[in-house]
């Protein structure tokens, strides 16, 4: 008898299938969630970057506005800043982000000359975003009113006796005291008058603006160095110093030279002719003296002062003259390239007046200045220290110093934007 075979159908494992389905679904949900989070992060980062870029743009504009305010309130900004040199960056307050900085630039790279083609550049930085705004500006040049004075001192002035000042006053920002025999006008905060002033007296005057001390460094960059050790016992004696003539080394196209006087040392110039601009650095307790007969004129081809002294501490500056002429003995003072009143020659038979012309500027509040001993000066003397005037001193203001000041001795009027020139530029 044949047995019938039977088969039993297996039930599907529905629990495993359901588990796999749920697991897959959960995985898909997680992946979608992660994708959404990633998208949110990307969108947030993009929003943050967009916000940072907008903040950087705002900072750039703010930096231009800040610079306009700073320059408009600084009459010496042409000396206090360098063309194309960034100012800053400055951190903003706790409620702001990023930094601001700026610079002003001149088309010829120099802020101290009479070229007024100026551009202001403002930079805003937030994170790695850098935004730049550019604005053309104008600023009319104005002459500093100290150039209308015979002598101007930030400190006290003592007028001893037998002094004549013509064409402008002797001015002290503090106290001016007179002795005997003064002919000329005086201005000061306080005037102590002995009754000898033959001229006007003005008191209670506010200080006038002096050139920035930075003008020294500007000229220092143009100067040829003369080592103090190369001088004969610290003296320039019977020498001609001009653009083409430098007895201590190479000449200088700007006729501009610098001497560094060590602490406690004494630099003396006597019986010489200077046709140029001399810069002198005086260390503490050093002294500069112009002595006996000398002929001193500013450079022929450069609009420079005659003398700028920078004192790094207590120092003495003495400018003295003589009633004798400067005679040629061992040196020809007007050779080719260094004419006097347009004339030059090869001989040593000429004589010249003992006289100083131009602008003489002394930087340093601890400096004591003496002008005396028949000094004949046409120009202006400026000092940040005190001054004593006396013994047949004669100073006549050169009006050309005010109408055409040496480079670096110009102030600036208001700084004004050029309409329609504000532009967003590329990052530096």
Largest alpha-carbon pair distance within the chain?
164
CA distances from 386 to 40, 282, 316, 360, 374 (A): 71, 16, 10, 14, 20
pLDDT tens series, the chain, 428 aa: 455 555 545 555 566 777 677 667 777 767 666 666 665 565 555 545 567 788 888 888 889 889 889 988 887 787 788 888 999 888 876 666 789 999 998 887 877 766 667 899 999 888 888 889 999 988 877 888 999 999 999 999 999 888 999 999 999 999 999 987 899 999 999 999 877 789 999 999 999 988 888 899 989 999 999 999 999 999 999 999 999 999 999 999 999 999 999 999 999 999 999 999 999 999 999 999 999 999 999 999 889 999 999 999 999 999 999 999 999 988 999 999 999 999 999 999 999 999 999 999 999 999 999 999 999 999 999 999 999 998 899 999 999 999 999 988 987 777 888 888 888 866 66
* Whole-number Å distance between alpha carbons of 416 and 384: 31
For the chain, which residues make up each domain, given as ranges? 54-140+413-425, 145-410
Give CA–CA dist 331/352, Å, rounded: 13
pTM for the model: 0.76
For residue 157, what are the CA distances in angstroms to 169, 179, 180, 382, 384?
12, 11, 14, 12, 11
């Amino acid at each position: 008898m044949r047995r019938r075979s039977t088969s039993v159908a297996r039930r599907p494992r529905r629990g495993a299938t359901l588990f796999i389905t749920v697991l897959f679904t959960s995985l898909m949900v997680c992946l979608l969630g992660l994708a959404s989070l990633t998208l949110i992060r990307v969108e947030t980062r993009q929003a943050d970057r967009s916000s940072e870029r907008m903040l950087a743009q705002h900072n750039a504009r703010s930096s231009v506005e800040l610079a306009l305010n700073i320059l408009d309130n600084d009459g010496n900004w042409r000396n206090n800043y360098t063309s194309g040199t960034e100012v800053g960056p400055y951190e903003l307050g706790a409620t702001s982000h990023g930094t601001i900085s700026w610079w002003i630039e001149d088309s010829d790279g120099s802020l101290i000359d009479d070229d007024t083609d100026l551009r202001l550049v403002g930079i805003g930085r937030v994170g790695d975003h850098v935004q730049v705004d550019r604005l053309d500006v104008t600023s009319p040049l104005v002459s500093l009113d100290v150039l209308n004075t015979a002598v101007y001192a930030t400190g006290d002035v003592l007028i001893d006796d037998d002094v004549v000042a013509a064409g402008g006053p002797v001015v002290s920002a503090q106290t001016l005291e007179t002795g005997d025999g003064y002919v000329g006008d005086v201005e000061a905060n306080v005037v102590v008058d002995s009754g000898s002033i033959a001229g006007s007296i003005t008191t209670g005057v506010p200080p006038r603006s002096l050139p920035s001390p930075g003008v020294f460094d500007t000229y220092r960059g143009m100067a040829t160095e003369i080592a103090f050790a190369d001088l004969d016992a610290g003296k320039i004696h019977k020498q001609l110093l001009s653009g083409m003539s430098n007895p201590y080394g190479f000449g200088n196209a700007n006729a501009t030279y610098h001497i560094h006087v060590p602490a406690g040392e004494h630099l003396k110039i006597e019986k010489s002719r200077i046709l140029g601009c001399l810069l002198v650095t005086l260390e503490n307790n050093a002294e500069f003296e112009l002595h006996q007969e000398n002929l001193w004129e500013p450079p022929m081809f450069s609009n420079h002062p005659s003398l700028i002294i920078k004192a790094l501490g207590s120092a003495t500056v003495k400018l003295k003259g003589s009633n004798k002429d400067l005679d040629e003995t061992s040196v020809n003072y007007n050779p080719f390239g260094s004419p006097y009143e347009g004339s030059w020659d090869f001989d040593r038979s000429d004589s010249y007046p003992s006289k100083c012309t131009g602008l003489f500027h002394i930087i340093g509040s601890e400096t004591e200045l003496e002008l005396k001993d028949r000094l004949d000066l046409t120009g202006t003397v400026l000092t940040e220290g005190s001054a004593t005037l006396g013994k047949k001193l004669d100073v006549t203001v050169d009006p050309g110093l005010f109408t055409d000041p040496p480079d670096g001795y110009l102030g600036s009027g208001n700084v004004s934007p050029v309409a329609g020139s504000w532009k967003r530029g590329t990052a530096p």
